[in-house]
Amino acid sequence: NAGVTQTPKFQVLKTGQSMTLQCAQDMNHEYMSWYRQDPGMGLRLIHYSVGAGITDQGEVPNGYNVSRSTTEDFPLRLLSAAPSQTSVYFCASSPTTRRGYNSPLHFGNGTRLTVT
């Protein structure tokens, strides 16, 4: 059982470059989300989705795009990378039934992104 798979694990970009962080889960979870983790700021929600075709903004959405064409995949796109986007990124998923909200998020292993 793969769980939540994030790729790549590390990435270095130059300012202005674009890239896509990939996230896939094989648990048939409706809810998927992206967080960034910065020292002293915890994990901040970037975007989330409650199902295919449905996405919504989190706390820090600027500079990032998402789409959800399938239940399994939830890619995060950086359109024009900036040094302020240097961070560790986590993808996470869970069910969305009422009981599912009490379930732990399943996290990917994270992507360390450096923008120079």
What is the distance between the alpha carbons of residues 74 and 58, in angstroms, rounded to a whole number? Answer: 14
Q: Which of 13, 21, 24, 48 binds other proteins (CB under 8 A)?
A: 48
61 binds other proteins per the rule CB under 8 A: no
Provide the minimum distance between the beta carbon of 103 and other proteins in the complex, in angstroms, as a whole number. 9
Q: Which of 44, 63, 65, 75 binds other proteins (CB under 8 A)?
A: 44
92 binds other proteins per the rule CB under 8 A: yes
**For the chain, give me the number of helices (H) and strands (E)?**
0, 11
Q: Do the Cβ atoms of 57 and 71 come closer than 8 Å?
A: no
Neighbours of 28 (CB within 10 A): 9
Task: Tell which positions 13-32 bind other proteins, by CB under 8 A.
Answer: 31
